[in-house]
């Protein structure tokens, strides 16, 4: 078993995640390169300084613009909205590999509807499909089938609940979005027939192997601990022994490698090369709270000695930092965090606060670098001016 240092582990992760200026392409080709490497990006509707997928991509792609992703999703249709680790975006070529997961979601969404007293939505699925076939892509709000049982929570309308179920089982997909609202269409209008007809994985054990490997590929390497990383699959993946058996199969197949870091065992989907100088570029990157590299906070604390909590759902009086705070990554280390807010109407980027880690050497060179990074971030947002409300002289 290969043994590496934490510094070597950080260097590998930053390079694997394409966070070291090592992306070969830019624009839409760069977006596809990122997805080819990390497989999936979680979707989140919050838009304080861009959507989560945009934040993930701007930290990796020089001069990234949000329309690159939108075009790949809804014009070129090389990417697709789907369920992976929560709601996500992934390559359309991966669609048939998720067939068994959609079977799992069929049962789980039905159970959710039962819990919410909304099972009447299931009686309207064929009606909804007929409406889409006749009228074309539609928002759920444009289909009036009445409301769900009074007092229930979740979708308030029958059409919304029915479309959500149909989406999770793969009968409809997202044709485009209007803000955060989904415009639905029949899946056969969105995905090539050859992908709809393809069924590459029919055995559950093989599927679990594929999915566990994919989750590790989404990070770079990982350990077999109970974690949010295994979310979105089924209850089996909550069991460490179950995952251990899957890992054993992947090790036997040569698809995973074991690596030891300070007497703890991790698993990587590729060989971790340890050779030459461990060099990092000089860009300070603003990472999304839901960036793949940050999926597991204990993992980040273990490897990077950085403790991060996303406080967006923490009551204001209990927050240590702020509502929407982004980690700052520089030369393989998390050097601090920043709280930016983008006022879209006036196109103003406001820097509410900046906090540096105790071991970060804050000098004129670092401040100059951060100033440049803030300017680049404002360009990504399309801001026309920057306001600094922090106690750092960086604007």
CA torsion through residues 51, 75, 166, 292, sign: negative
CA torsion through residues 277, 281, 285, 290, sign: negative
CA torsion through residues 88, 94, 96, 98, sign: negative
One-letter-per-residue 3-state SS of the chain: CEECCHHHHHHHHHHHCCCCCCCCCCHHHHHHHHHHHHCEEECCCCCCCCCHHHHHHHCCCCCCCHHHHHHHHHCCCCEEEEEECEEEEEEHHHHHHHHHHHHHHHHHHHHHHHHCCCHHHHHHHHHHHHHHHHHCCEEHHHCCCCECCCCCCCCCEHHHHHHHHHHHCCCEEEEEEECCEEEEEEHHHCCCHHHHHCCCCCCHHHHHHHHHHHHHHHHCEECCCCCHHHCCCCHHHHCHHHHHHHHHHHHHCCCCEEEEECCEEEEECCCCCCCCCCCCCCCCEECCCCCHHHCCHHHHHHHHCCCCCCCCCCCHHHCCCCCCCEEEEECCEEEEEEEEEEECCCCEEEEEEEEECCCCCCCHHHHHHHHHHHHHHHHHHCCCEEEECCCCCCC
Residues 80 and 175 sit within 8 Å (Cβ to Cβ): no
Cα 326 → chain centroid: 15
Dist. CA 272–CA 9, nearest whole Å: 8
Residue 78 resides in a domain: no
Length of the chain in terms of residues written = 395
The single residue listed with the structure tokens 């965090």 is 337
- Residue numbers of the domain that contains 343: 285-388
- The structure tokens listed for 132 are 């889409």
Out of 148, 169, 190, a domain closes at 190
Residues 294 and 327 sit within 8 Å (Cβ to Cβ): yes
Query: CB 346: neighbour CB atoms within 10 A?
Result: 11
Name every residue whose Cβ is closer than 8 Å to that of residue 203 and which is 6 or more positions away in sequence: none
CA torsion through residues 331, 334, 339, 344, sign: positive
Residue 111 resides in a domain: no
Dist. CA 321–CA 334, nearest whole Å: 15
CA atoms within 13 A on the CB side of 71: 10
- Say which CATH number the domain at 177 has: 1.10.10
Out of 147, 167, 190, a domain closes at 190
- Say which CATH number the domain at 310 has: 3.40.630
- The structure tokens listed for 81 are 């909205």
pLDDT of residue 328: 98
Out of 172, 190, 208, a domain closes at 190
Residue 212 resides in a domain: no
Residue 77 resides in a domain: no
Residue 379 resides in a domain: yes
The single residue listed with the structure tokens 């982004």 is 326
Dist. CA 151–CA 115, nearest whole Å: 12
Dist. CA 4–CA 13, nearest whole Å: 12
The single residue listed with the structure tokens 């803030």 is 374
Residue 197 resides in a domain: no
What phi and psi values does residue 279 have, to the nearest 5 degrees? -100, 145
Distances (CA, A) of 330 to 33, 58, 284: 22, 15, 5
pLDDT tens for the chain, 395 residues long, are: 889 999 999 999 999 999 999 889 899 999 999 999 999 999 999 999 999 999 999 999 999 999 999 999 999 999 999 999 899 999 999 999 999 999 999 999 999 898 888 889 899 999 999 999 999 999 999 998 887 765 445 567 899 999 999 999 999 999 999 988 999 999 999 999 999 999 999 899 999 999 999 999 999 999 999 999 998 888 888 899 999 999 999 999 999 999 999 999 999 988 776 555 678 888 999 999 999 999 999 999 999 999 999 999 999 999 999 999 999 999 999 999 999 999 999 999 999 999 999 999 999 999 999 999 999 999 999 999 999 999 887 77
β-sheet bridge partners, residue 174:
184
Residue 204 resides in a domain: no
Nearest to 288 by CA among 360, 188, 227, 377: 377
The single residue listed with the structure tokens 């058996």 is 245
Provide the domain count of the chain. Answer: 2
Residue 42 resides in a domain: no
- 0.85 exceeded by the pTM? yes
């Amino acid at each position: 078993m290969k043994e590496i240092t934490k510094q070597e582990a950080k260097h590998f992760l930053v390079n694997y995640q394409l966070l070291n200026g090592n992306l070969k392409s830019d624009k839409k080709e760069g977006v596809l390169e990122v997805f080819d490497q990390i497989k999936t990006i979680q979707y989140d509707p919050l838009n304080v300084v861009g959507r989560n997928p945009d934040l993930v991509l701007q930290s990796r792609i020089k001069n990234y613009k949000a329309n690159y992703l939108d075009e790949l999703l809804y014009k070129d249709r090389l990417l697709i909205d789907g369920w992976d680790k929560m709601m996500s975006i992934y390559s359309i070529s991966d669609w048939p590999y998720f067939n068994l997961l959609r079977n799992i979601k069929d049962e789980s969404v039905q159970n959710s509807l039962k819990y919410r007293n909304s099972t009447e939505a299931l009686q309207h699925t064929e009606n909804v499909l007929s409406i889409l076939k006749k009228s074309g892509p539609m928002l759920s709000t444009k289909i009036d089938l009445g409301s769900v049982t009074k007092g229930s929570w979740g979708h308030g309308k029958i059409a919304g609940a029915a479309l959500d179920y149909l989406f999770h089982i793969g009968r409809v997909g997202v044709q485009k979005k209007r803000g955060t609202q989904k415009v639905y269409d029949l899946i056969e209008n969105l995905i090539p027939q050859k992908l709809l007809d393809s069924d590459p994985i029919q055995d559950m054990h093989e599927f679990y192997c594929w999915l566990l490997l994919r989750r590790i590929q989404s990070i770079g390497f990982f350990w077999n601990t109970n974690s949010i990383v295994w979310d979105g699959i089924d209850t089996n993946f909550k069991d460490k022994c179950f995952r251990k058996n899957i890992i054993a199969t992947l090790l036997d197949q040569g698809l995973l490698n074991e690596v030891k870091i300070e007497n703890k065992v991790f698993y990587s989907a590729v060989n971790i090369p340890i050779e030459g100088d461990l060099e990092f570029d000089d860009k300070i990157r603003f990472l999304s709270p839901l960036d793949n590299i940050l999926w597991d906070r204990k993992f980040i604390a273990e490897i990077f000695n950085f403790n991060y909590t996303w406080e967006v759902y923490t009551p204001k009086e209990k927050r240590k930092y702020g509502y929407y705070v982004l980690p700052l990554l520089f030369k393989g280390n998390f050097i601090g965090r920043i709280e930016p807010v983008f006022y879209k109407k006036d196109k103003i980027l406001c820097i509410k606060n900046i906090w540096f880690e105790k071991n970060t050497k804050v000098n004129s060179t670092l401040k100059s670098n951060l100033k440049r990074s803030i300017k680049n971030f404002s360009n990504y947002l399309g801001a026309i001016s920057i306001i600094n409300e922090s106690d750092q002289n960086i604007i």
